[in-house]
Copies of this chain bind each other. A is one copy, B any other.
Amino acid sequence: MNSTSDRPKSISAYGPARSTILDQPLSSAELRLMHRYWEASLYMSAGMIYLRDNPLLREPLKPEHIKRRLLGHWGSDPGMSLIYIHLNRLIKKYDLDAIFLAGPGHGAPALISNAYLEGGYSEIYSDIEESAEGLGRLFKQFSFPGGIGSHCTPETPGSIHEGGELGYSISHAYGAAFDNPELIVTVMVGDGEAETGPLATAWHSNKFLNPVRDGAVLPVLHLNGYKIANPTILARIPHDEIEHLFRGYGYEPYFVEGSDPETMHQAVAATLEHCVQVIRHIQNEARSAAPEKVTRPRWPMVVLRSPKGWTGPKEVDGHKVEGFWRAHQVPLAEVHEKPEHLAQLEAWLRSYKPEELFDKEGRLDSELRALPPGGTRRMSLNPHTNGGLLRKSLRIPDFRNYAVKVERPGTISAGPTEILGQFLRDIARDNVHNFRVFSPDENASNRLTAIYEATKKVWMGEYFPEDADGTEITPDGRVMEMLSEHTLEGWLEGYLLTGRHGFFSTYEAFVHVIDSMFNQHAKWLEKSRELAWRADVSSLNLLITSTVWRQDHNGFTHQDPGFLDVVANKSPEVTRIYLPPDANCLLSVADHCLRSHDYVNVIVSDKQPHLCYLDMESAVRHCTKGAGIWQWASSDQDSEPDLVMAGCGDVATMEALAATEILRQHFPDLKVRFVNVVDLFRLLPDTEHPHGFSDPDFDALFTTDRPVIFNFHAYPWLIHRLTYRRTNHHNIHVRGYKEKGNINTPMELAIQNQVDRFSLAMDAIDRVPSLKLRGAHTRDTLKNEQLECRRYAYAEGIDAPDIVNWKWSI
C-alpha cells in the first residue's frame, strides 16, 4: 500500500490489486483453478437472475430461455463469492470451523452458487441435483413464484442471516461467535448496510468478545461503492479516514483494493490467510495467558474495495455499468425488448465458458470439485448455521424452589423480577457454555441483579480500581450489557440461531427500538418452521419490564406498551405473549418459555414489588390454563355473575381486584366474577391461534351476556382486536393505557387513563343494570375518593399510604 492519505478513486482506476499484505501465496495452478471456480459461481449467479432454460448454454441463447421477469441483484455477488472461495482454501489448509454471513442485501446468489458447487445444496434439496437438470431447476426457482428468494433466506443452506433488512450482520456474527471458541465467523458487510445505525455501533461488539472462550469474527467491509442509486459514504471518504475509523473501532484493518482478478486473487488469498494467522495467534496468546492478563486484542478486519457487478457488462447502451450503481440489480434489463441486450447477455454468460466449468452431465468439472472442503466443513453444511442440530436443552432447576410463599392471596408483596433473577442466576450457574442474559444497561435497574452471584457482565474495555465496588464487570462474565437494543437483539439472535439459549430484558417503551428486528426474526422463524431440515432453535425470550404503569416518574416518553400490537401482527405459529400477574406466575411462565423452541416469547412484568396472589401450585395451574376465574376473588359461586371483572397484567390486575373489593363493600349482594388473563392469545379464537380458546371456553369465563370490565396492561383496543368475534364482545368494556401521562404518581397515572380502582368501580356502576340507580350515591363517593387521591399526589408527590399499602382483605 503506497500512501494512506489517498483520496478514493473510481474503482476502474485501481487496476491491479493494492493491498496491505503483499504475499502471493497461490501457485499459478492454484490461482487458475480458484479463478475458474469463482467463474463457476459467477456464471451461476448470473444464470439465476436470467435463465429459465438452457442452463448450460448448450444452445444459442433465445428469448424463451430468459425469465419473463428479471429479478435479483448482481452487484454484490462477485466480491462476496471471491471471499467465500478463498475461505474455502483456508478451511481446508487449516481445518477451520468457519461460517459465512452475507450482510449485503439480495446477495443470495453468491451463497447459493457456492452451496451448490460444494454439493451442499443438493444434499439438502434432492430435486436440485448436480446435473444440467438440477442446475436448470435451481436457476428457474431463484426469485421465481413458488421458488426461493434473492436474500439469504432460511431456505439458503449455510445462512443464519437473511439480510432482507439491513444492519444486523455484525451483531449476528458476534452472537454466533460467543461461546464457540473454535469458530471463525466471516461476515461480509455491505457499504450500504454500513450506513445504518445498528451496523455502525455493532463494530463495538469487540469490547464484549473474550478470545479465551469465544470464537473470532472476521469482518470484511465490502466497499462495493454504491447502494441502489447512490455512492456509499465509506467508499467516498479518504483512505486515511477509513483507516482511522476502524482503528478507532479497535480493529486492525487490512486493505485489498483493485479490479484485476489475477492480482486480486493473490491479494485476497494472502490477506485472509494473514488474518486467520493473526486470529490464531491472538487466541493462542490469550488461551495460554493467566486469566487476569487477558485483554482486548486488536482483531483484524478486511476492507475489500472491488467493482460492483465485477466481471459483468462494462457498459450498456453507452452507460457505465461495472463498478457503478447501474450494476446494483439486473445489469441488462431489456433482454426481451432489445436483441442487442440479449446478445450482450449471451456474450457475458459465455465469457465464463460454462462448457469448461461443467462436464457433460452438467456436474462441476472434476478438477474444480476438488477445491472446496468436504462434509460439515463446507460452510453450507456447517451445523452452526443450522443451530438446532447442536442445541442442548437447558439444565433448568425446579422453578418451584424460588416460589414466594403465599398463604392468603394479595396480602404480601414481592418483586417479580427480583425473584426471576434468582431463577436466572441458577440457570446461568448450571449452563455456563450455552446461556447468556442480555440487557441494555438495565439488568440492575430491572432488578435482575441476583444473576451477578453466578456470573458478571462481560467487559473487555479498560478497568479502573473503583470497578471492584459494584460495577460487576469482568472479562469472563456472561451477562451482556451495552446501551444498544439493536446490538443486543442481534447478538441474541445470532446466539440462538447457532443453537444456544438466551434471555433479554428491556424497558417496555424502548423495546420499540427493535420492532423491526423482532419482525424480521419472527419471519425467519416462520419460514424455518416450513423447512424440515432446519432443526428447532431456542425461543427468543423477551422480558418487557419497567412498564408503563411504573414510569409515572420518568414521564410520557417512557410510557408505551405498544410492542404487543406489533407482536400480534406476526404469525400465530411463532408468537406468544404472557402477562403474569405476580412473581409465582412469572416463574411458571419463564420456566415454560425457557424450555420452548422456535417462538418469540414476550413476557410483560414490572420490576417493582407487587402483591402476590397465587401460591406456586395455583400459579402453575393458572398459567397452564392461561386464563381463569379466581374463585377467591369472586362472589358468583353457583350462579351467573352480574359482572365479570377481568385483569390482564400486574398493575391492571391489582386495580381490578381493588375495584372488586370496593364493589363488594358497597354492594355486598353483587355477584362479581373475577377473571385473570396471563396468556394473551387465549383471547383469540382457537381457529386463529394455537393458544386460542374455543368459543364455549371463552364464554365459560366471560359469559355470553353479562357486562365485562376488562382492565388491560397495554393499549385497550388490542383486547377488542382479539375478541371482536366473541359472542359477548359488545359487552366487553376495556380500560388500558390511552396515551395520557406526564409526571405522575402511579395512582394519578392510573386515574388519568381510567385503569384505577375507582374508575373501574364507577364503570361497573354504569354498566350493571341493577346498580344504575342504587349506585348513584356510591358513584359520587368514589368520584370524591378519586379526587382525594389526586389532591394528595399533587400535594405530597407520592400516593397516600392506604393506596400504596393496599392489600386484598376480603
Minimum CB distance partner of A518 in chain B: B512
Q: A230-B481, A250-B241, A565-B569 are in contact. Are A320 and B466 (CB under 8 A)?
A: yes
What chain B residues lie within 8 Å of A481 (beta carbons)? 230
Asked whether, in the complex, the Cβ of A68 is within 8 Å of the Cβ of B242, the reply is: no
Contact of A197 among B67, B167, B473, B748 (CB under 8 A): B167
Q: Does A793 contact B (CB under 8 A)?
A: yes
- By a CB distance below 8 angstroms, the chain B residues around A461 are 231, 233, 236-237
Interface assignment of A183: CB less than 8 Å from any CB of chain B: no
Given contacts A145-B743, A153-B555, A516-B515, contact A464 B68 (CB under 8 A): no
Cα distance A308–B800 in the bound complex, in angstroms: 34
Known: A471-B325, A797-B69. A145 touches B748 (CB 8 A): yes
Check if A445 sits within 8 Å of B229, measured CB to CB. Answer: yes
Interface segment among A355-363, A666-674, A716-724: the answer is: A716-724
Residue of B nearest to A472 (CB): B229
A569 touches B562 (CB 8 A): yes
Given A192-B441, A250-B241: A515 touches B798 (CB 8 Å cut-off): no
When the two chains form their complex, are residues A250 and B237 in contact, meaning their CB atoms are under 8 A apart?
A: yes
Decide if B248 touches A242 in the complex (CB within 8 Å). Answer: yes
The distance in angstroms between the C-alpha atoms of A202 and B516, with both chains bound, is 19
A520 within 8 A of B: yes
Selecting from A158-166, A272-280, A602-610, the interface stretch reads A158-166
| Contact in complex: A196, B484 (CB < 8 Å) | yes
Docked complex Cα distance between A558 and B553 (Å) = 38
Please tell me if A125 contacts chain B, counting CB pairs below 8 Å: no
| A82-101 interface code vs B (CB 8 A; 1 in, 0 out) | 00000000000000000000
Q: A807 at interface (Cβ–Cβ under 8 A)?
A: no
Q: For residue A443, which residue of chain B has the nearest CB?
A: B229
Q: Would you call A36 an interface residue if the criterion is a C-beta within 8 Å of the partner chain's C-beta atoms?
A: no
> Is B469 within 8 A of A320, CB to CB?
yes
Residue of B nearest to A795 (CB): B145
Chain B residues within 8 Å of A238, by CB: 462
Residues of the B chain whose Cβ atoms lie less than 8 Å from the Cβ of A236: 207, 459, 461-463
Residues of B contacting A442 in the complex (Cβ-Cβ under 8 angstroms): 228
Whether B165 pairs with A509 at a CB distance below 8 angstroms is yes
Query: What separation, in Å, do the CA atoms of A717 and B325 have in the docked complex?
Result: 41
Residues on B with C-beta less than 8 A from A244 are 244-245, 247-248
Q: Which of A509, A523, A796 has the most CB of B within 10 A?
A: A523
Distance of A320 Cα from B7 Cα, bound (Å):
49
A199 part of interface (Cβ distance < 8 Å):
yes
Question: Please, how many angstroms separate the alpha-carbon atoms of A793 and B145 in the complex?
Answer: 7
State how many copies of this chain the complex holds. Answer: 2
Q: Are B71 and A483 in contact (CB under 8 A)?
A: no
Q: Which of A240, A520, A721 is most buried by chain B, counting CB atoms within 10 A of its CB?
A: A721
A195-235 with Cβ < 8 A to chain B? 195-202, 204, 207, 227-233
Q: What are the residues of chain B within 8 A of A164 when measuring CB–CB?
A: 554-558
Does chain B have a CB within 8 A of A802?
no
Q: Given A233-B482, A557-B164, A466–B248 Cβ distance below 8 Å?
A: no
CB neighbours (8 Å) of A148 from chain B are 743
Contacts of A153 in B (CB 8 A): 555-557
Q: Which of B228, B445, B570 contacts A445 (CB 8 A)?
A: B228
Distance between Cα atoms of A240 and B483 in the complex (Å)? 22
Q: In the complex, which residues of chain B have a beta carbon less than 8 angstroms from the beta carbon of A473?
A: 230-231
- Cβ–Cβ contact A230 & B457, under 8 A: yes
Asked if A353 is at the interface of the complex by the 8 Å CB criterion, the answer is: no
Contact yes or no, A68 B562, CB < 8 A: no
Contact of A319 among B240, B464, B470, B794 (CB under 8 A): B470
A739 interface residue (CB < 8 Å to B): yes
Residue among A472, A473, A519 with the highest chain B CB neighbour number at 10 A: A519
Give the distance to chain B from A465, nearest Cβ to Cβ, in Å.
6
B555 adjacent to A462 (CB under 8 Å): no
Contact of A227 among B229, B462, B483 (CB under 8 A): B483
How far apart sit A250 and B557, CA to CA, in the bound complex (Å)?
Answer: 32
Binary per-residue interface labels of chain A (443-456) against chain B in the complex, 1 for a CB within 8 Å, 0 otherwise: 11100000000000
Confirm or deny: A526 has a beta carbon within 8 angstroms of a beta carbon on chain B. yes
Give the residues in chain B near A204, CB-CB below 8 Å. Answer: 195, 200, 233
A444 touches B229 (CB 8 A): yes
In the bound complex, CA of A47 to CA of B317 (Å): 72
A76 contacts partner chain B, Cβ-Cβ < 8 Å: no
Q: Is A745 an interface residue (CB 8 A)?
A: yes
Which 4 A-B pairs give the minimum distances between C-beta atoms? A164-B557, A245-B248, A197-B197, A236-B461
- 9 new A-B contacts, CB < 8 A, other than A195-B204, A227-B483, are A7-B462, A145-B744, A165-B510, A227-B441, A236-B462, A245-B247, A325-B470, A512-B566, A568-B717
13 A-B pairs, CB-CB below 8 angstroms? A147-B743, A164-B555, A167-B513, A192-B483, A197-B200, A228-B445, A230-B481, A230-B483, A245-B247, A245-B249, A324-B466, A515-B566, A519-B562
